[in-house]
């Protein structure tokens, strides 16, 4: 049985993973800004699920979510980050706000979640961090200037 943090799970990949984790008995802390995620947390499962309704672009959220996982479940074994923002716009229409919000969610949030969870992951017998990515990591898409991660993974990264 593991303790899992899922950042973004009202819908899509995160939602499906919450169900699978709980089915095998893992406890989950689910963070999402959409209130519909409460229904995901309320679904039955062997493991528990706590829902924290937060905007993940808020830099205070990673520490808060990790503290909740530690307080309620005793640690963190798995960090799954699926929340992201994909803005597509003509070059001339891009604003600072569009860039800043994308960077806050897609770049800073996974980093600071990892930083907050790191002491507990180091203490776990079976730690893992999973970041969902995009074909945009390999090939650029027109209009999505802020969404594209570095073209090549950094040394030590493993793309699965």
Minimum separation from the CB atom of position 92 to ligand NAD (A): 24
Identify whether the C-beta of residue 129 lies closer than 8 Å to the C-beta of residue 7: no
Return the HEC string of 15-66.
HHHHHHHHHCCCEEEEEECCCCHHHHHHCCCCCCEEEEECCCCCCCHHHHHH
Distance from C-alpha of 45 to C-alpha of 13, rounded to nearest angstrom:
17
The minimum distance between CB 122 and ligand NAD, in angstroms, equals: 26
Count of residues near ligand NAD by CB under 6 A: 21
User: Which residue among the candidates 10, 115, 147, 148 is catalytic per the annotation?
Assistant: 147
For residue 47 the two structure tokens come to 């493991």
The site string for ligand NAD over 71-110 (x = CB under 6 A, - otherwise) reads -----------xxxxx------------------x-----
120 in active site? no
Stretch that binds ligand NAD, among 30-38, 41-49, 68-76, 87-95 (CB under 6 A): 30-38
26 binds ligand NAD (CB under 6 A): no
Site for ligand NAD in 53-72 (CB under 6 A): 55-57
3-state secondary structure of 67: helix
Q: Catalytic positions, please?
A: 147
């Amino acid at each position: 049985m593991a303790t899992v943090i899922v950042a973004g799970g009202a819908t899509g990949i995160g939602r499906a993973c919450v169900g699978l984790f709980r089915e095998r008995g893992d406890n989950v802390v689910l963070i999402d800004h959409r209130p519909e995620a409460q229904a995901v947390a309320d679904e039955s499962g062997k493991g528990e699920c706590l829902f924290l309704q937060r905007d993940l672009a808020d830099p205070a959220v990673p520490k808060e979510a990790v503290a909740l996982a530690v307080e309620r479940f005793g640690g963190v074994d798995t960090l799954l980050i699926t929340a992201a923002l994909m803005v597509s716009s003509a070059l001339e229409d891009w604003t600072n706000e569009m860039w800043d919000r994308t960077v806050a969610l897609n770049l800073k949030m996974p980093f600071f979640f990892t930083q907050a969870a790191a002491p507990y992951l180091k203490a776990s017998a079976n730690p893992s961090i999973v970041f969902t990515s995009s074909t945009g990591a390999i090939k650029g898409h027109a209009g999505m200037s802020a969404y594209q991660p570095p073209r090549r993974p950094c040394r030590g990264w493993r793309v699965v």
